Amino acid sequence: MKDKKVIRSRQHKFTKRESYLTNLFTFHEEKTGLVDEGRVVYIVYLDFSKAFDTMSCKIHIKKLMIYGLDEQTVRWIENWLNGQTQRVVINGSLVGDQ
């Protein structure tokens, strides 16, 4: 997905060696550096938690296929977006529901 430029270089979550903590650290370092320089910093927080509720699932699925995800993975994501229960079983033990 990085080859097709779906994931930006500044993506922190869901990529190797990056997490929400690296995002917070990078954000903190950048903004405190600007404040230390005497520059004004404005921060706006947006809540995208309902983003998938407002955009058609079909649009997401079509884009995933355009970007080259295999059909099985796309169908799994489509089922998840449509609210299908997901379960993980390891050695016969249920790990969790989602």
pLDDT for 58-92, tens place per residue? 888 898 888 888 888 888 888 888 877 777 777 78
Q: Is residue 10 part of a domain?
A: yes
Structurally, how many domains does the chain consist of?
Answer: 2
pTM higher than 0.85 for the full model?
A: no
- Say whether 97 sits in a helix, a strand or coil: strand
Let me know whether 25 and 59 are in one domain.
no
**H or E element, residue 76:** helix 71-81
Let me know whether 20 and 60 are in one domain.
no
DSSP letters for 7-68: S-TT--TTSTT--HHHHHHHHHHHHHHHHHTT----------TTHHHHS-HHHHHHHHHHTT
Q: What domain range includes position 6?
A: 1-45
pLDDT for 11-51, tens place per residue? 655 566 666 677 778 888 889 999 999 998 888 775 655 66
Cβ atoms of 67 and 4 closer than 8 Å? yes
